[in-house]
Amino acid sequence: MGTARSTNMAVTCLKPSEYRGDQNTAVAGRIVILKHQEIQSRKGTQAAAAPTGGRKGKGSKAAKGLPETRTLRKLEAHLAATQSLSEVGDLVSIQGAAVVAAPAQYPTSRLHYHLNLKGPLGLQVIVQKLDEDPWQGIPAVHPLVPLSALDRVRDRQQFCVSVTIVENPGSVEHQTKEGAALVCNAIVQQGATRVRCSFWHEQAEELAAQPAGTSLMLYQVLVTKRKDERSWEIGSWRGTSLVPCSAEMATAMQAELAHQDNCRMLTEIPVKDWIGCSATVSSLSALVGAIVPGQLRKLETVFEVVRLQVLGISSVKTETDVWLIDSRAKCKKAAPCEAWSRAGLV
């Protein structure tokens, strides 16, 4: 193996673990092992000289051809994609070598292939000495994607986005198959595009701690499209991270924010249609059935009813409506109580 003068290569240099022999690619690595061997090669046969006189006897044997031997020099080099300067050997690249899809004899490498350098060096096979590491490492994160392009996702895809939080309701606890878990459904915006986040577990607490108006870099988030709906949502997984934007970047992002009325919302948030939904007419005394369905129970104490929607309360026509309190606000003013909760009291 020879070396060529270090020049700017027009090919992509890959590590030995990434190289497949594709066109316009070369394998690059530092020489860690270099072996020289001399091999006696036998090629063809050489006919023996014919006898000059006399006749062959009856039992004489014909002369056999002798094998032609020659000495070949074999050079075996082991390359490693290392950046350590303590490794002995030069950093080289090899282009045009034949890829043999099998490990070499007595291999010291875990790779499934080895290279065979055939042909004159410098023409078919080009070996160059490099001055610096040529590998283009895989970036730690994906490139930033604008929110306006998320509607191209057909199922689920991983992205990195820069957003500004416009609404942050905090984290709430939801029951899942694995038990109780925290989720944060903050609304983020970039330019004139908005989308809802669905961050769970540790990321939910981290996102819930960010106040509205904060600009963040959301690395490695999952953008999911709902089936049969034009609705997208940003989700988290264990590789998701939240990084604050620089002051300069945050100022530029917030200056580009459009008004809420001019924004496009990528997430269709389910809303109950209270006007078109079905309802059952009943009396207030029938709410006992909501506490214990199908059974009668005496109202001897105060019960908390969760997720019960009572709509269209109408008064019973009597001589006077002094006792009637038709709204919760009026009830709280008439009888202040610190035990009020988000649920109704029966």
Which residues neighbour 314 within 8 Å (Cβ) at sequence distance 6 or greater? none
Question: What CA–CA distances, in Å, run from 61 to 55, 56, 64, 281?
Answer: 12, 8, 9, 120
Cα–Cα distance measured from residue 71 to residue 42, given in angstroms and rounded to the nearest whole number: 9
Each residue's pLDDT tens digit, 84-107: 656 567 888 888 888 888 887 777
Q: Where are the beta strands (DSSP E) in the chain?
A: 12-14, 25-46, 66-80, 91-95, 98-100, 114-116, 126-129, 156-167, 171-176, 179-184, 187-190, 193-200, 215-225, 232-235, 241-244, 264-265, 304-305, 344-345
The answer to whether domain 1-41+69-138 has CATH 3.40.720 is: no
| Superfamily holding 147-265 | Nucleic acid-binding proteins (2.40.50.140)
Each residue's pLDDT tens digit, 31-78: 888 777 777 776 655 555 555 555 555 554 545 556 677 787 777 887
Cα–Cα distance measured from residue 96 to residue 124, given in angstroms and rounded to the nearest whole number: 6
| Residues β-bridged to residue 66 | 46
Cα–Cα distance measured from residue 14 to residue 93, given in angstroms and rounded to the nearest whole number: 9
Query: Mean per-residue pLDDT for 268-289?
Result: 67
Residues of the chain with CATH 2.40.50.140: 147-265
Each residue's pLDDT tens digit, 110-167: 788 888 887 777 778 888 888 877 765 556 667 789 999 998 888 889 889 999 999 9
Question: What CA–CA distances, in Å, run from 10 to 7, 13, 18, 24, 334?
Answer: 9, 9, 18, 8, 83
Q: Which of 271-280's residues contact partners 24+ apart within 8 Å by CB, and which partners?
A: 272/309, 274/309, 274/311, 279/311, 279/312
Cα–Cα distance measured from residue 241 to residue 50, given in angstroms and rounded to the nearest whole number: 86
Strand 126-129 with 241-244, pairing:
unpaired
Cα–Cα distance measured from residue 324 to residue 346, given in angstroms and rounded to the nearest whole number: 15
